[in-house]
DNA sequence: CTGAAAGCGCTTACAG
DNA sequence: CTGAAAGCGCTTACAG
């Protein structure tokens, strides 16, 4: 079934069928109804190979925006963007990347606007969970610019698709790892992430809930926040360990593992404290080799970036993401051997 | 840069450029040289979007062949085949699947021949590591039918690409998991796989070598072979455990985990024996829920199947696999929480 | 509101 | 050995 055949069946031109298919309007209601009926009856679906060839003429620009500055986790996400971009050169696709540091809503809004000015056709963003961002995504949608959230999602928004990990399950996985590492006996200190990132909150909840269930003998001694910042993480861990020298195990919810490790080493606890963390970024890998970090839970950052851009391309070709509105990475447990 | 532009620069028709690009011959040597030089100078590469549209007319058939019968691991690989096939309908691609039971070389050869008769343009096969298979792959290559090996590779062959896991590293990962599970103290029984499958051999070697290094106190008490068969695995484990009641830990190198578990349960060792195995097939998951299997190392079977078909398609479009001659899956550690 | 034509980049008969 | 034309399926001006 092709557009041509549909056109013949309806006694109209291919142009008219195209107008109906892409809701360009300017078609007599009766004609439109006939065409829609025929499309439905024949089970017609647009052939993406044909569509792909026409995409090239528009040279579509995908806007990408992540808080990657000072956070090496995102190096991999960005590498995934670039890999997908490379695969799409033949379709004339470009990825316009903007980065920021930290989680300031005003800054994120400003960068989204810059991308809009630059003429992006799809937005790929790691959104702050704030209603002003949600509102901007809605406005973009009204303009015909769909949004894909990557790495972390935003509640109640009209984003077309989320590409990232399942945070609650990631937290539970970390709890399971904690059981293997501690044998169910520990005085635990927790270093949390950023409270305005939905994922970080869900991950911590998942961890604590499941840990209570499977390791009732692990005592959570204290919690501090690293704010996704190395220095902050270092200082807060230092203070926590001074307050509670009985802590023998640490759980780092988000980034900042290196800072936490520095504090542990400085206090001379390297041989006695065990750490479970997230993501195999280079500095964490270093600490794994040193034996301080026993295991990490990973969320396939490269694949997140790659799939987000591919999903944007799917939207271009088909109007929707073929994978549905969520593309969820697996939580992987990594130890030294399978890094 | 398009074919059209190259043609203009050389003062020939697009057809002639096409003949050179695809080595169809029948071009005057001087003309060919000129065209090749121009292509090189301009850095021309074929646009896959254009090529894709012409693929449809040929309705290419990919032949797929795996020893999936009686081995549920391959259900996922096949699901990956199907998923990729679905994505390629618009290009007229079909996957013709043949399955077999066990690892008989004659049978594998016969099925490859059936696929050839059926007109396959690319072969995707889980090859037995035997020189007769290697020879057949060579013959196919001479006929212009490239081969992709999936799940396990074959030595010295001229297959274009291998899609599967890194077995030595998978074995090492299992050793690392073993350390976490046992704390470095165990009387270990090993249930091995199939000796004519390259991957199984490499995995076992990787495991034993690394285990000796990181857990010198783990004693390997005995080894038996499961031959990738449930029943066999059951009987061999039973005998091994009767011979060596001191065994408190089992390592299952390949499939057959369920048989091993049945033997353990039957002997009343369910509460005392710990098992590390491979692949989260349903029956193994059941044993994980029961607490008998503590952790498994997985090799992304779905992705293996998916990527193998995608690689076949890449070959169709570009003549090579863009990912190089090996597409290697990650070894993932799975526990109950991240299944 | 609608159709005819040209185009995206590559390939395939066909004619010479 | 080579070129001109038609085609894969969709979209885009343009003319009416």
Convert the pLDDT of each residue in A266-284 to its tens digit: 999 999 999 999 999 999 9
Mean pLDDT throughout A111-138? Answer: 96
Which residues of chain B are under the pLDDT cut of 50? none
Which pLDDT score is estimated for A320?
A: 85
- Alpha-carbon gap, residue B296 to B255, rounded angstroms: 12
Q: Is strand D within 7 Å of residue B27 (CB)?
A: yes
Per-residue b or e along A296-317, where b marks 16 or more CB atoms closer than 10 Å to that residue's CB: bbbbbbbbbbbbbbbbbbbbbb
Q: How many CB atoms lie within 10 A of CB B328?
A: 17
Measured between beta carbons, which residues in chain B are less than 8 angstroms from residue A2?
A: none
Measured between beta carbons, which residues in chain B are less than 8 angstroms from residue A3?
A: none
Q: What is the pLDDT of residues A141-197, one digit of tens each?
A: 999 999 999 999 998 889 999 999 999 999 999 999 999 999 999 999 999 999 988
Nearest to A22 by CA among A10, A14, A12: A14
Q: What is the pLDDT of residues A288-328, one digit of tens each?
A: 999 999 999 999 999 999 999 999 999 999 988 877 799 99
- Alpha-carbon gap, residue A54 to A146, rounded angstroms: 20
- Alpha-carbon gap, residue B330 to A221, rounded angstroms: 36
Residues 292-331 of A with CB under 7 A from strand D: none
The two structure tokens encoding residue A183: 């044998």
How many Cβ contacts (< 8 angstroms) between chains A and B? 90
CA of B296 vs chain A CAs: smallest distance (Å): 11
Which of A43, A170, A332, A338 to probe the B interface (max B CBs under 10 A)?
Answer: A338
B301 touches chain A (CB under 8 A): no
Task: Tell me the β-bridge partners of B124.
Answer: B64, B148
Q: What is the pLDDT of residues A205-232, one digit of tens each?
A: 999 999 999 999 999 999 999 988 889 9
Instruction: Name the average pLDDT for chain A.
Output: 95
Order of strands across the sheet with A293-298?
A: A218-225, A186-192, A249-252, A274-278, A293-298, A332-334, B332-334, B293-298, B274-278, B249-252, B186-192, B218-225
Which pLDDT score is estimated for A33?
A: 94
Q: Which residues contact A7 (CB under 8 A, 6 or more apart)?
A: A13, A14, A16, A17
Which pLDDT score is estimated for B182?
A: 95
Q: What is the pLDDT of residues A46-88, one digit of tens each?
A: 999 999 999 988 899 999 999 999 899 999 999 999 999 999 9
Which pLDDT score is estimated for A169?
A: 98
**Is the pLDDT at A26 greater than 90, yes or no?**
no
Nearest nt to the B53 alpha carbon by C1': D8
Which pLDDT score is estimated for A175?
A: 98
Domains and CATH numbers, chain A: 3-45 (1.10.260.40), 59-165+301-330 (3.40.50.2300), 167-298 (3.40.50.2300)
Q: What is the pLDDT of residues B3-33, one digit of tens each?
A: 999 999 999 999 999 999 999 888 999 999 9
The two structure tokens encoding residue B49: 């979007």
Closest Cβ opposite residue A330 in set B170, B295, B332:
B332
pTM for the whole structure: 0.94
- Please report which residue ranges of B246-318 form alpha helices under DSSP H: 257-266, 282-289, 301-318
The two structure tokens encoding residue A16: 């008219």
A58-to-A142, A234, B166, B194, B295 alpha-carbon distances in Å = 20, 49, 41, 54, 50
- Alpha-carbon gap, residue B219 to A301, rounded angstroms: 38
Which pLDDT score is estimated for A229?
A: 87
- Alpha-carbon gap, residue A280 to A300, rounded angstroms: 10
A204-to-A2, A200, A256, A336, B243 alpha-carbon distances in Å = 51, 6, 15, 24, 47
Which nucleotides of strand C are protein-proximal, with an atom < 7 A from a CB?
1-14
Q: Which residues contact B22 (CB under 8 A, 6 or more apart)?
A: none
Q: Which residues contact B9 (CB under 8 A, 6 or more apart)?
A: B38, B42
DSSP category for residue B118? T
- Band of pLDDT at residue A263, cut at 50, 70 and 90: very high
Measured between beta carbons, which residues in chain A are less than 8 angstroms from residue B331?
A: 337-338
Say whether A337 and B55 touch across the interface (CB within 8 A). no
B19 touches chain A (CB under 8 A): no
């Amino acid at each position: 079934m092709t557009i041509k055949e549909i056109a013949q069946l309806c006694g109209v031109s291919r142009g008219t069928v195209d107008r109906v298919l892409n809701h360009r309007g300017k078609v007599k209601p009766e004609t439109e109804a006939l065409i829609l009926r025929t499309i439905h009856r024949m089970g017609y679906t647009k052939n993406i190979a044909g569509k792909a060839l026409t995409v090239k003429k528009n040279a579509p620009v995908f806007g990408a925006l992540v808080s990657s500055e000072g956070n090496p986790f995102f190096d991999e996400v960005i590498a995934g963007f670039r890999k997908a971009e490379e695969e799409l050169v033949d379709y004339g696709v470009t990825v316009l990347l903007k980065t920021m540091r930290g989680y300031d809503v005003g800054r994120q809004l400003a960068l989204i606007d810059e991308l809009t000015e630059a003429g992006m056709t799809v937005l790929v963003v790691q959104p702050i969970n704030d209603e002003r961002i949600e509102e901007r995504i809605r406005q973009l949608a009204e303009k015909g610019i769909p949004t894909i959230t990557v790495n972390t999602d935003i509640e109640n928004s009209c984003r077309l698709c989320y590409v990232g990990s399942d945070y609650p399950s990631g937290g539970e996985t970390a709890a399971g790892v904690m059981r293997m590492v501690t044998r169910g006996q520990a005085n635990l200190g927790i270093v949390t992430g950023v409270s305005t990132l939905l994922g970080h909150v869900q991950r911590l909840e998942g961890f604590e809930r499941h840990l209570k269930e499977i390791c009732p003998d692990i005592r959570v001694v204290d919690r501090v926040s690293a704010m996704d910042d190395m220095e902050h993480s270092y200082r807060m861990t230092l203070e926590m360990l001074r307050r509670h020298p009985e802590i023998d195990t640490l759980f780092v919810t988000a980034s900042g593992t290196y800072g936490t490790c520095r504090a542990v080493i400085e206090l001379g606890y390297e041989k006695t404290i065990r750490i479970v963390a997230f993501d195999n970024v280079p500095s964490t890998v270093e600490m794994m080799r040193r034996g301080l970090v026993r295991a990490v839970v990973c969320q396939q950052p490269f694949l997140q970036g790659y799939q987000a851009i591919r999903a944007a391309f799917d939207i271009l070709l088909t109007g929707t993401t073929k994978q549905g509105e969520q593309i969820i990475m697996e939580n992987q447990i990594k130890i030294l051997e399978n890094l």
